[in-house]
Chain A
Amino acid sequence: MWSRVIRFFKKDSPSRNDLEVWKGEILEELEGIKKVLRRQTLFLEALKKEVLAQVGEKVLQDAEPIRQLAESFFYFDSFLREGPGLPSGQNEAAEMVWKKLELLLSSLGLELIRRTGEPFDPRLHQTVERAEGENGNMVVTKIIQPGYLYHGQVIRPARVIIGELPTKEKQEL
């Protein structure tokens, strides 16, 4: 096509017929390029979808040992906090480990659902038990199994026990 374009512009006083022929050839070729580009775009779109899906699957697969480690630490930490709870130094140490673990998980797009005291959200929490009380202001009082999110999507909700948010009076008592 380029040779035709060059001829089109360089040839001294081309005949009207020449111009018409070259124009037709160039337009035809451009049509071909458009077709190829369109197909290439489709190919690239398909490739992008495929690659993204594969990368997502691979990341989740590769992150599995880290997720399992975080879950194991969750259960160990929960055990340590049973009864009177942790002395302040140990509590601080555990929180530091959690911060590091959560940073690592978030670098992989993962987030653990593990916190108590948060309002019950049926998207994130699956209730296993509900403590006696009215229906209003239900909060997570215990996590039985942590859940997790991958780029904001719930892969597994946390299994929880919920109860009422303690009133100010109850807290003061």
Chain B
Amino acid sequence: MSEILCGIDLGTTNSSIAYLEGGKPIALPLEEGSALVPSVVSLDELSGQIVIGRQAKNRMGAFPEHTIRSVKRLMGKETRIPLGPKEFSPEELSSFILQYLSRRAGEMLGQEIKKTVITVPAFFNDAQRRATIRAGELAGLEVVRIINEPTSASLVYDYASLQEEGKSRYLMVYDLGGGTFDVSILEIKGEIKEVLASCGDTVLGGDDFDERLSNYLLRHLKEKTGHDFSTSPRAFQVRLKDIAEKTKIDLSDAPYARVQEVAVISVNGQPVNLDLEVSRREYEEVIADLVEKTILKVEEALKEANLSSSDIGKVILVGGATRTPLVQRRLAEVFDRPIHHSIDPDLCVALGAAVQSGLIAGEPLGHILLDVTAHSLGVKTIDTIDRETGDADHFSTIIPRNTKVPVRKAEVYYTLTDDQKGVEVEVYQGESASCRENTRVGQFYFSLKPAAAHSPVTVEFTYDKEGVVHVTIDQKGAENRQEVTLDVRKKRVLQREGEVEGPEVLNYILEKSRRLIQEEKLPQDLRQELDRLSRDYERALRGQSEARDVDDLEDRLLEMMEEAEERLGAD
């Protein structure tokens, strides 16, 4: 069995470990199905054991003097950190996290992990880097390389099957985590990526977005009850922050979020409930200045690197808070192009470190196969008129190209006239702002209930891995909604609400061959041959052929599918 090399993102808040399987980096779900391990260390004095990760985080409130988080901030410092009766150096504490990650990964993979690549922030000095290597050694690991986090994130995109955005040799990594923000500008010099500029804010992140939303909810409660709950017990504050975080996540995918929470606090023996709708616009208003702070840092980094926004070939988003639509929109305005991510922003640093480990080991790295949308998906709106026909022609994007699937996104549109009878929902895919230049996937009519002009209608797309889009259209406040299912690859309406599903799939071989036929990268001759064989095999299966013919066809079809997969893998 060959040796497994891993990549580790030793983060301030969370850490993760990834490895390469068949040229593809995979993050290991070490803790209850999650690949993110809280970077928290706790000493259980009763058992004398060191506890890491989620359980250590859960102990924090109970045993604060025995627990530490964000030890990364202390790396390279000559200090001793007490955990109960014992004291540890920052690298010893980091080594516990590294040991836990490699041990759990080894258990999952059935093989001991001995070598690893570890990532560090671009601003880490020599002492901090040496302390990280020492932590690896203390954990019993050979640290084959230390790489910068932005470089690591860019590596995973290099090998992803994405189209290059221009030929510029400069790229920017915008990393907005839970509590910190970093922006780095990299120059690509052949295989080497040099960090030209790096700046950030150590106390700005997604947690601040939650806090702003918490304050918004507090103001709502004050309006509702006349009471100021800002100094209420900690239990209430904790619950409110959780509600805010959930609302923030909902608003990343939808223009509105419904908040319905029972008995968040009590006043004069009566429960105070939260029942309101928060719009994305309201949320964006309360976080706008925080996002602007990051944009100023982007401009500062560009200035430091003596570059302008047009010099940057690619913008890479790292960190969970970059899922915020306002962040993507503001960056799109600065760089004058759509900005989005197709790789999990929480894991791309670890995935990139795994790619780096593969490069060191000389493993053949093909394109990383990602389940992403090949084209942007959206609807036709009347914002632009076709000059020749006088018809509406604007393509309003709901799911941008290269978005990781499965995905759910929604946008809100407004009616034109009073008591508008209905809307023709036309779904298109493509990259042009004009629908005429894009491909129509399907269309259906949605009847509206009487309402004033400019009433909101929400269109939600849920795109699954099979290329099926479930469109939900909702006339807000009118209890009027409709669901339609579209097959994007076959460009047709599959099923309307309440209808019976279409033709059944005979067996997995046929289903798989149909999926391969839809692959855009499959050579034309192979596609045609695969299609012909699949049809023959299907006819044979349906009982019009002798068993021997079925066997022959199945064998040939399997051979051809194998060839198709090899070709796709090689490409």
Residues of A at the B interface (CB closer than 8 Å) are 1-2, 32, 35-36, 39-40, 43-44, 47, 72-73, 75-76, 78-79, 82-83, 120, 122-123, 125-130, 135-136, 138, 142, 144-145, 153-155, 157, 159, 161-162
Decide yes or no whether B543 CB sits under 8 A from chain A. Answer: no
Given contacts A43-B509, A79-B266, contact A144 B61 (CB under 8 A): no
Determine how close the nearest CB of chain A comes to the CB of B202; give it in whole angstroms: 25
Contact B271 A79 (CB under 8 A): yes
- List the A side residues contacting B224 at CB < 8 Å: none
Q: Is the CB of B239 within 8 A of A145?
A: yes
Are B262 and A75 in contact (CB-based, < 8 A)? yes
Which residue in chain B gives the minimum CB-CB distance to A125?
Answer: B58
Whether B445 sits at the interface, judged by CB under 8 Å, is no
User: Which B residues are CB-close (under 8 A) to A161?
Assistant: 235
Within 8 A of A (CB), among B255-308: 260-264, 266, 269, 271
Q: Does A72 contact B262, Cβ atoms closer than 8 Å? A: yes
* CB atoms of A155 and B59 under 8 A apart: no
Which of A36, A72, A79, A162 has the most chain B CB atoms closer than 10 A to its own CB? A79
Instruction: Please report the C-alpha to C-alpha distance between residue A117 and residue B370 in the assembled complex, in whole angstroms.
Output: 47
Question: In whole angstroms, what is the CA distance A162 to B64 when docked?
Answer: 13
Partner of A78, one of B55, B263, B558: B263
Tell which of A1, A40, A126, A130 touches B57, judged by Cβ atoms closer than 8 Å.
A126
Main secondary structure of the interface of B (DSSP, over half): helix
Give complex CA distance A138, B262 in Å.
29
Within the assembled complex, what's the spacing in Å between the Cα atoms of A127 and B261?
22
Does A122 contact B266, Cβ atoms closer than 8 Å? Answer: no
Residues of chain A within 8 A of B58, CB atoms compared: 122-123, 125-127, 157
Verify B558–A155 contact, CB threshold 8 A: no
| Candidates A136, A138, A142; contact of B235 at CB < 8 Å | A142
- Separation in Å of the B548 CB from the closest CB of chain A? 8
Q: Which among A82, A127, A135, A138 is the interface contact of B45 at CB below 8 angstroms?
A: A135
Across the interface, A127 reaches (CB within 8 A) one of B51, B59, B239, B271, namely: B59
A120 to B260, CA, bound (A): 30
Which B537-564 residues sit within 8 Å CB-CB of chain A? 548, 551, 554-555, 558, 562
A135 touches B63 (CB 8 A): yes
A contact face: mostly helix, strand, loop, or mixed: mixed
Measured between beta carbons, the chain B residues less than 8 angstroms from A39 are 558, 562
A88–B555 CA distance with the chains assembled, in angstroms: 71
Q: Is the CB of A144 within 8 A of B235?
A: yes
Q: B33 near A: Cβ within 8 Å?
A: yes
Interface residues of B in 99-147 (CB under 8 A from A): none
Using CB atoms and an 8 Å cutoff, list the residues of chain B in contact with chain A.
Answer: 32-33, 45-46, 51, 54-63, 234-235, 238-239, 242, 260-264, 266, 269, 271, 508-509, 512, 548, 551, 554-555, 558, 562
C-alpha spacing A59/B479, complex, angstroms:
26
C-alpha spacing A144/B562, complex, angstroms: 54
Q: Check A154–B32 contact: CB distance below 8 A.
A: yes
Question: CA separation between A46 and B55, bound complex, in Å?
Answer: 33
A78 partner residues in chain B, CB cutoff 8 A: 263
Q: Which of B51, B234, B235 contacts A122 (CB 8 A)?
A: B51
Instruction: Assess whether B238 is in contact with A145, with CB atoms less than 8 Å apart.
Output: yes
Residues in B with CB closer than 8 Å to A142 are 235
- By a CB distance below 8 angstroms, the chain A residues around B263 are 75-76, 78-79
Which of chain B's residues has its CB closest to A57's CB?
A: B406
Contact at A129–B33, with CB atoms within 8 Å?
Answer: no
A102 to chain B, nearest CB (A): 18
CB atoms of A144 and B51 under 8 A apart: no
* B51 neighbours in A (Cβ, 8 Å): 122
A132 CA to B62 CA in the complex, in Å?
10
A22 to B261, CA, bound (A): 76
Contacting pair B242 A145 (CB below 8 A): yes
A39 to B507, CA, bound (A): 14
In the bound assembly, the distance between CA atoms of A125 and B61 in angstroms comes to 10
Contact, CB under 8 Å: A128 / B234: yes
Known: A75-B262, A128-B235, A154-B32. A122 touches B59 (CB 8 A): yes
A43 to chain B, nearest CB (A): 5
Q: How far is the CA of A28 from the CA of B373 in the complex (A)?
A: 44
Hey, which chain A residues are within 8 Å of B269, CB to CB? Answer: 83
Q: How far is the CB of A91 from chain B (nearest CB, A)?
A: 17
Shortest A99–chain B CB gap in Å is: 20
Distance of A72 Cα from B273 Cα, bound (Å): 10
Residues B261 and A75 in contact, CB atoms below 8 Å apart = yes
List residues of chain A with CB within 8 A of the CB of B63. 130, 135
A-B contact pairs, 25 of them (CB 8 A): A2-B548, A36-B551, A36-B555, A40-B509, A43-B512, A47-B508, A72-B260, A75-B263, A76-B263, A122-B51, A123-B54, A126-B60, A127-B59, A127-B60, A129-B234, A130-B62, A135-B45, A138-B62, A142-B235, A144-B238, A145-B238, A153-B33, A154-B54, A155-B33, A159-B242
Q: In the complex, A135 Cα to B84 Cα: how many Å?
A: 11
Are the C-beta atoms of B55 and A82 separated by less than 8 Å? Answer: no
